[in-house]
Amino acid sequence: MIKNKQNHFLIASFALLLFVMIGYTVKFFPESLTTLDSSIQATIRGNLPQAWTQFFKGITVLGNVSAQLLLVVLSVLVLLLLKWKIEALLVLSNGVVAAVLISSLKWLYQRPRPSIDHLVHAGGFSFPSGHSMGSMLIFGSLLIICHQRIISRSLRLVVDTIFITLILLIGLSRIYLGVHYPSDVLAGFILGFSVLHFLYPCYNQKRFEWRFLLKQD
């Protein structure tokens, strides 16, 4: 268990280092990312076909603040009804962490949004992507819980695939809709991934202890 905990902390630390490197570049050398960001964005957006535009407009709503807040509240209530207390705490904690980090980091970096046509309204600053970080933390928490609780291996694979696909599509939608640079989305994913790995060992240990002490199912 100790070795497993160290592995998670190592992964989390490496991801955090990557985020810091991207953030440093965004803050002090933003022009060095312009060409790469622009080329990736142009490739993803293409000619903005109507079908894809409507699809990504629908997908991106799942990463909105109101949608993420609703998802956290409903998930916590359902988990408490199931008497899965530590799982509820995991979702709630990651929801709070997402809100605090997103608002704090956007204020810190103050990166303007891309100066291209925005297909949806987006206010505030660009870095990191709140949709990407929030979806990674919240849907990532639900993925962890479902992966642990679902007995069927095939069903577990299906659920894992759905959550991972949803997370990636939400991030992709922000690039397609023109409201984030690819580096914003990547940084949001990386930081969310780092937080998940930092918190997971603590959550998993408490889950074992609470189940052993019959504090939850």
Task: Specify whether the CB–CB gap between 195 and 97 falls below 8 A.
Answer: yes
Report percent pLDDT > 90 for the chain. Answer: 79
- At residue 62, the 3 state secondary structure works out as coil
Domain membership of residue 191 (yes or no) is yes
Structural domain harbouring 132: 2-29+50-212
206 confidence band (pLDDT: 50, 70, 90)? confident
DSSP letter assigned to residue 111: P
Domain membership of residue 43 (yes or no) is no
Determine the pLDDT at residue 102: 95
CATH classification at residue 7:
1.20.144
Kindly tell me the burial class for residue 95, based on how many C-beta atoms sit within 10 Å of its own C-beta (0-12, 13-18, 19 or more).
Answer: buried
Domain membership of residue 42 (yes or no) is no
Into how many domains does the chain fold? 1
Any idea which residues carry the catalytic annotation?
131, 180
Q: What is the CA radius of gyration of the chain?
A: 18
Q: Which residue has the tokens 């997370």?
A: 167
Between residues 213 and 21, the one the model is more confident about: 21
Domain membership of residue 20 (yes or no) is yes
Residue 55 has pLDDT above 60, yes or no: yes
Domain membership of residue 39 (yes or no) is no
pTM of the model: 0.92
DSSP letter assigned to residue 181: -
Report percent pLDDT > 70 for the chain. Answer: 95
Domain membership of residue 181 (yes or no) is yes
